[in-house]
Structure 1
Amino acid sequence: MTWFAFFLSFVVWFNFAPFQTTIGQDFGLTKPQLGTIGLCNVALTVPARILIGMLLDKYGPRITYSLLLIYAAVPCLIFATAQSFNQLVLGRLLMGIVGAGFVIGIRMVAEWFPPKDVGTAEGIYGGWGNFGSSFSAFTMVLFAIALSALPGSFSFGEPESFKILFFPAVNAEVLNWRAAIAGSGIIAAIYGVIYYFSVSDTPPGKVYRRPRSARGIEVTTVKDFWFLMLMNLPLTLILGVLAWRLQKVEFLTNGGMYIAWLILAGLYAFQSYNCWVVNKELLAGTKRYPPEDRYDFKQVALLELTYVVNFGSELAVVTMLPAFFEGTFGLDKATAGIIASTYAFMNLVSRPGGGIISDTLGSRKWTMAILTGGMGIGYLLMSQVGSSWSLSLAVLLTMACSFFVQAAEGSTFAIVPLIKRRITGQVAGNVGAYGNVGAVAYLTILLLLTERSETANGGAAVMSAVNGSFFQVLGIAALIVAFLCAFFLKEPKDSFADHYEGEEDNLTVPESKNLEPKRT
């Protein structure tokens, strides 16, 4: 039930990419405007994943996931009925919140599986759910084509007044993608109701452990508190970059951009205050955690960086790969979209594969370092792909690279539930948010590389050079993080135990006790 909830949330979240060039033509959008819409698609996922992590720890995954899926219909309908660039941007900004759904299932799955199996379980959840992005790329265009072939274009059996009410001044050729996007949101909302009545937060007899406060992450040393403040900065700064991009495409005025920056500074101050409230006794010296209750926040920071380079790069590559294959090999849009979907299609096996490797190799740390290094090498090889390559070889390389990317994602979340049990939701939220920080950063780099190429070549970007430089950035960043993991990441305590900290297996009888009945 939970992996399919994640699957639907990603189908909805990625339903823009297959129609990117079509929507650009329909609205007469420039490349920077299309790129900005792509950035907006992942922007609010950054604060949303943090907020969802807090709500998750407090209210549990059942309620949180159900409400998020029902909410998914709202941005889908806004985007499907958009009549201007500004309305498209608003729809994608709100759509970014749907991308936070991944975090919820991380804790749900961890509640149902012990540490020794959590890598495999989280890998299956993440891989099969993340396949939603590939499914969206593969089927949304076909779905739209089928809808456009219906008599009277899009009506779903509704009277013409329905079309006029919800899709005014839209012709049949444009309407097909609108119907496909609206339909995906409605399906997600229906499943949200089904999910609520079908699942429970924990197995029977198990207590759902909640943090003392969900307002901010609880740390266990003063040094870790200041490290937390430092690692929260990029979550705000990347939203400032997005505001700058919105000003560049004239969605925001200069004054609007400065106001947005002030609001973001206020949000960072508010977040810092909440973290202080949660940890004020520790900072005042009136509370001291015993050694067995402490955790090293540096491990959380390293996992955040691994998710920048693996999931962050996946989001960026999924967004640009259809156009990459279309331009490099001269393919039509539908064929390019289907071929590009092979990158995310690998999630079905590679992300579970990363979890299985993490469970069986005997070291979650070295699994993380090796897979991240392989990802870096894969991206550097992809930077060499050009029109002289055979299409089949390029597809095979894409699939091989994606295996390491997604296996590294599975390895990351094989460690997240083992950091600190009672704040798993918040740790997962912060690590997940950094994935979106990476996505926004990488997509911004891609836009800057494109603009620089246009300037250097009289307005026409040399996309082969842009794509090559972009994949090199991804590869070098991954190799740097692989180095950090190898030297600074620690093996989690009790990585392969039968139960989590503070939990007892009531079905296991300690060997030290002799339960033979006394004879009289």
Structure 2
Amino acid sequence: MLAAFLYFDMSFMVWYLLGPLQVQLAQALQLDTQQRAMVVAVPILSGAVLRLFLGMLADRIGARRTGMLAQCAVIVALFVAWRSGIDSFAQAIALGLMLGIAGASFAVALPLASRWYPPQHQGTAMGIAGAGNSGTVFAAVFAPMLAVAFGYEAVFGLACIPLVLTLLVFTLCAREAPVAVSSKRLSDYARVLVGNRDAWWFMFLYAITFGGFAGFASALPGYFHDQFGFDPRLAGWATAACVLAGSLMRPVGGHIADRIGGTRTLLTVYALVTVLVATAALQVGGATTTVALFVLTLLCLGAGNGAVFQLVPQRFGADLGLITGLVGMSGGIGGFLLAAGMGVVKQHTGSYATGLWLFAAVALLGWGVLSGIKRQWRNDWSAVSAARV
């Protein structure tokens, strides 16, 4: 569990690294709002797609070996970016694509931790391992400060230090659970998706919760800078408060879902997120009020992330590696659409309000979908699962 958490934590730190650096990058490379949003959104999309392939590799050679290979690739990418520099929009996009490997750590860390625990403790176990997304807090707090002191390119080199230390700990401490895991192919992913509505529902639900968390975590530094004139450090600190709330609530959300059921937890999450984001879109109050609204929003989304993965192992225990990759991919796609969409909306309308209204509407749609299928899930799963639905 410790190895999975630490690996996930540091991976999320570098996956998110371009988000807190976006203001400095945009100024240095003369990027417009839409290009800036694309730079921070590309790692999310890359991570989403690569999760499928890391999931397959983890099933084939083991999560431990896969994690080690992925960490090495990310370290090399950051080292090259530090030594060679990032001098254009295209180079920033290329680095973002490579940092997606760190985002794909989702498909390594969660199965590595989950396979050690029985169904009734899946929400708590997955929540604790998944709380590694708190690594985004480190990036939000320290990356802008280090960029001011040493330049944004130096941040890439400095990030290699904790990654190398984490690689050593992971190599020494990570252990595979003593369970049989069959190798998966792309056709197996297709089998899970074809004719299986539950898989699609889970992907949609997680695209809202994790997509909202990742998308806002990447977009908020730029949002706070544009909306309230925050400098990069202050924007990073405000974003860190939001991200920390969401990260801490992930294991709590999993634990709550173990106690009262994942569907009940998610219904509450979607209702609260709808109200909070809609209020932020109305621009009621000043900067402090808006930051508080986003802290509460990401707190709810973090709880929702834990709740989704309390439910997933109950429905797809035999295909946990497959569904983890698919659901994780959908969460990344949701984050990409939110982060990129916020920039597109701002570029063409001059305001972020429309983007916030759209996300609030999607959260409300999630509430409606889950309200319609919760009874069927409870009836179908209660006979085969010891955990609460």
Structure 2-normalised TM-score?
A: 0.90
> Which residue number in structure 1 is paired with residue 359 of structure 2?
474
- Taking the TM superposition and a 5 Å limit, the aligned residue runs for 1:456-475 are 461=350, 466-475=351-360
Which of 257, 278, 282 aligns to 1:380? It is: 278
Which of 189, 197, 208 aligns to 1:298? It is: 197
> Which residue number in structure 1 is paired with residue 180 of structure 2?
209
Q: Once the two structures are aligned, what percentage of the paired residues are identical?
A: 22
User: How far did 1:212 drift?
Assistant: 6.0
> Which residue number in structure 1 is paired with residue 50 of structure 2?
48
Distance in 2 (CA, whole Å) between partners of 1:331 and 1:219 is: 46
Amino acid at match of 2:175: S
Distance in 1 (CA, whole Å) between partners of 2:35 and 2:262 is: 41
Quick one: structure 1 residues 447 and 400, their matched pair in 2 at CA, closer, same or farther if it must change by over 3 Å?
closer
> Which residue number in structure 1 is paired with residue 116 of structure 2?
112
Amino acid at match of 1:52: L
Secondary structure of 1:112's counterpart equals coil
Q: Are 1:496 and 2:371 an aligned pair? A: no
Q: Which runs of 5+ in 2 are unaligned?
A: none
Distance in 2 (CA, whole Å) between partners of 1:27 and 1:442 is: 23
CA RMSD, Structure 1 to Structure 2 (Å): 2.2
Q: Which runs of 5+ in 1 are unaligned?
A: 149-175, 228-296, 454-460, 499-520
Per mean C-alpha deviation after superposition, the further-off stretch among 79-88 and 299-308 is 79-88
> Which residue number in structure 1 is paired with residue 215 of structure 2?
316
Q: Is the contact made by 1:73 and 1:189 (CA closer than 8 Å) also made in structure 2?
A: yes
Distance in 2 (CA, whole Å) between partners of 1:437 and 1:351 is: 19
Higher helix share: 2
> Which residue number in structure 2 is paired with residue 366 of structure 1?
264
> Which residue number in structure 2 is paired with residue 30 of structure 1?
32
Quick one: structure 1 residues 29 and 333, their matched pair in 2 at CA, closer, same or farther if it must change by over 3 Å?
same
Distance in 2 (CA, whole Å) between partners of 1:495 and 1:145 is: 52
Secondary structure of 1:410's counterpart equals helix
- Taking the TM superposition and a 5 Å limit, the aligned residue runs for 1:114-513 are 114-127=118-131, 129-146=132-149, 148=150, 176-202=151-177, 206=178, 208-211=179-182, 213-217=184-188, 226-227=194-195, 297-361=196-260, 363-385=261-283, 389-453=285-349, 461=350, 466-489=351-374, 490-491=377-378, 492-493=381-382, 494-496=384-386
Secondary structure of 2:173's counterpart equals coil
Amino acid at match of 2:21: F
Distance in 2 (CA, whole Å) between partners of 1:144 and 1:181 is: 10
- Taking the TM superposition and a 5 Å limit, the aligned residue runs for 1:80-119 are 80=82, 81-119=85-123
User: How far did 1:392 drift?
Assistant: 3.1
Q: Is the contact made by 1:135 and 1:345 (CA closer than 8 Å) also made in structure 2?
A: no
Quick one: structure 1 residues 11 and 211, their matched pair in 2 at CA, closer, same or farther if it must change by over 3 Å?
same
Distance in 1 (CA, whole Å) between partners of 2:140 and 2:221 is: 9
User: How far did 1:69 drift?
Assistant: 1.4
Distance in 2 (CA, whole Å) between partners of 1:211 and 1:470 is: 42
Q: Deviations over 1:358-414 (max 9, x none)?
A: 0111x222222222222222211221225xx24333232222111111111111111
Amino acid at match of 1:3: F
Quick one: structure 1 residues 324 and 215, their matched pair in 2 at CA, closer, same or farther if it must change by over 3 Å?
closer
Structure 1-normalised TM-score?
A: 0.69
Quick one: structure 1 residues 31 and 218, their matched pair in 2 at CA, closer, same or farther if it must change by over 3 Å?
closer
Quick one: structure 1 residues 225 and 103, their matched pair in 2 at CA, closer, same or farther if it must change by over 3 Å?
closer
> Which residue number in structure 1 is paired with residue 78 of structure 2?
76
Amino acid at match of 1:310: T
Amino acid at match of 1:197: L
> Which residue number in structure 2 is paired with residue 238 of structure 1?
none
Q: Deviations over 1:64-113 (max 9, x none)?
A: 11211121112223433223322222111111121010221211121122
Q: Is the contact made by 1:57 and 1:214 (CA closer than 8 Å) also made in structure 2?
A: no
For CA contacts below 8 A with separation 6 or more, give which structure has more relative contact order. Answer: 2
* Count of aligned pairs: 379
Q: Is the contact made by 1:116 and 1:497 (CA closer than 8 Å) also made in structure 2?
A: yes
Distance in 2 (CA, whole Å) between partners of 1:329 and 1:212 is: 50
Quick one: structure 1 residues 440 and 395, their matched pair in 2 at CA, closer, same or farther if it must change by over 3 Å?
closer
Distance in 2 (CA, whole Å) between partners of 1:418 and 1:383 is: 36
Which of 13, 24, 27 aligns to 2:15? It is: 13
User: How far did 1:418 drift?
Assistant: 2.2
Quick one: structure 1 residues 417 and 185, their matched pair in 2 at CA, closer, same or farther if it must change by over 3 Å?
farther
Q: Is the contact made by 2:252 and 2:303 (CA closer than 8 Å) also made in structure 1?
A: yes
Secondary structure of 1:180's counterpart equals helix
